[in-house]
Amino acid sequence: MFYVYILECADATLYTGYTKDLAKRVKAHNESKSAAKYTKSRRPVTLRYVERYRTLSKALKREYELKHVARAEKLALIRAAGKSAKH
């Protein structure tokens, strides 16, 4: 499985990425020297949204799409996912 995710940084900005190991990657964003340059200076980060894909190709395509989506649309995705997770 491959994961496309959105993190919320300590400064309330959003970061979009992909990974094969979600828990390890989020931990790296919060603790590792090898974290993304963007998130290293905006710790702690919180996982806010995840999508799963069977292929790397589909995950990369979706990551690219999400990186070009407006902040308001990303927040709407996060809100919608939160509502569906509660039901």
What digits encode the pLDDT tens for the residues 24-68? 999 999 999 877 889 999 999 999 999 999 999 999 999 999 999
What pLDDT is recorded for position 86? 52
Two structure tokens written together for 83: 């509502």
Q: Which domain, by its residues, includes 7?
A: 2-86
SS (H, E, C) 8-51: ECCCCCEEEEEECCHHHHHHHHHHCCCCCHHHHCCCCCEEEEEE
Task: Judge whether residue 87 has pLDDT over 50.
Answer: no
Model confidence, pTM = 0.93
CATH of the domain at 25: 3.40.1440.10
**Using an 8 Å Cβ cutoff, are 14 and 6 in contact?**
yes
Would you place residue 85 in the very low, low, confident or very high pLDDT band (cuts 50, 70, 90)? low
Candidate ranges 4-13, 30-39, 77-86; pick with highest mean pLDDT: 4-13
User: Per the structure, how many domains does the chain have?
Assistant: 1
d(CA 27, CA 24): 5
